Amino acid sequence: MAYTLYPAATPYNLGEQKYITVTSGTYVTFGKFTSCTGVLAKGGDNLTAVHLVRSTGPEQGPPIDFNYSVAHNVLAILPARIDCAKIVGFCNDWTRDVPAFLFLVKTIAARTTGNAYPNYHNFLTKADEQFRFRARIDDNNLIESMLV
């Protein structure tokens, strides 16, 4: 089995291991995060969002952890040249414990105008709570994210 990323049908309640690209001004709302992180990347007038899990669920067979192969798959989904990027969710946990995530963040920075590292929107620190994020490209042409 593999850690697979699936295209989402709508930008509402973006589930685990799903991604979507929307146009400027359209909100993407992530499904609940229990230990997840989300990657947001703006390229031109489009915003791409990816909902990542640390380990796949049992319905997909034996659990598979987020790894370098998955990081490369995420990079293939994101714009080739990124204007700005943001990471939301349990960023501290992932940064501390998941080496492939650090590789992903550094590679996103290398693709971003001015080689800027993604901004972190890290409100999430307690794994026993579930949170949701909503994001869009705002009127200043930046990624706006908020808890909902």
Structure tokens given for 143: 């990624």
Summarised one tens digit per residue, pLDDT across range 44-60 is: 999 999 999 988 766 66
Model pLDDT, residue 128 = 43
Domain segments of the chain: what residues? 6-139
Summarised one tens digit per residue, pLDDT across range 63-87 is: 788 999 999 999 999 999 999 999 9
Model pLDDT, residue 147 = 78
Q: Could you say which residues of the chain have pLDDT below 50?
A: 128
Of 20, 19, 13, 57, the closest CA to residue 35 belongs to 57
> Looking at the domain 6-139, which fold is it?
60s Ribosomal Protein L30; Chain: A; (3.30.1330)
Q: Other CB atoms closer than 10 Å to residue 81's CB: what's the count?
A: 11
Of 22, 11, 64, the closest CA to residue 44 belongs to 22
